[in-house]
């Protein structure tokens, strides 16, 4: 009795898919890692920007320094730092926070400044 051969790939092409997967999988994983790391850095920047905006608004409403610090730490994390500058009737708040994840090896920080008109100013 003769055995029928399956139609399809030649014997020389067997295992080709496995070899291609073994070669491309590290590249795909590296790209995925970079995309997720960049997303984490972007989220940190958005949180710092939100914290600066809320802190500038709170400074303009003349809230206490401790309340403003609570707002910044709530929005940007406990490691965030805040600097307040006043120039006439304007208040400028600058918030900085370290970027965590793989970017922490590069010692990157996210920074954002917002300016608000103090209440009671014309």
Q: How far is C-alpha 69 from the chain's CA centre?
A: 21
Listed in order, strand segments (DSSP E) in the chain are 81-87, 90-98, 109-117
* Percent of the residues in the chain that have a pLDDT greater than 70, as a whole number: 84
User: How far is residue 100 CA from its own chain's centroid?
Assistant: 8
CB atoms within 10 A of CB 14: 10
Q: Is the pLDDT of residue 90 over 60?
A: yes
pLDDT at 8: 57
List all residues 6 or more positions away from 54 whose beta carbon is below 8 Å from its beta carbon.
71, 72, 75
Q: What is the pLDDT of residue 100?
A: 85
For residue 42, the model assigns a pLDDT of 94
Q: What are phi and psi of 5, to 5 degrees?
A: -85, 140
* Residues 114 and 56 sit within 8 Å (Cβ to Cβ): yes
The mean pLDDT of the chain is: 87
Q: What mean pLDDT do residues 52-61 have?
A: 95
What pLDDT was estimated at residue 122? 55
Per the listing, tokens 């401790």 go with 66
């Amino acid at each position: 009795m003769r055995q029928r051969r399956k139609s399809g790939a030649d014997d020389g092409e067997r295992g080709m898919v496995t070899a291609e997967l073994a070669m491309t999988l590290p590249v795909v994983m590296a790209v995925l890692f970079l995309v997720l790391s960049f997303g984490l850095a972007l989220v940190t920047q958005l949180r710092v920007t939100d914290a600066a905006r809320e802190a500038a608004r709170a400074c303009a409403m003349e809230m206490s320094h401790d309340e403003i610090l609570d707002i910044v730490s709530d929005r940007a994390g406990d490691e965030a730092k805040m600097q307040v500058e006043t120039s006439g009737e304007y208040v400028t708040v600058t918030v900085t926070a370290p970027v965590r994840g793989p970017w922490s090896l590069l010692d990157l920080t996210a920074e954002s400044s917002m300016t608000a008109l103090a209440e009671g100013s014309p």
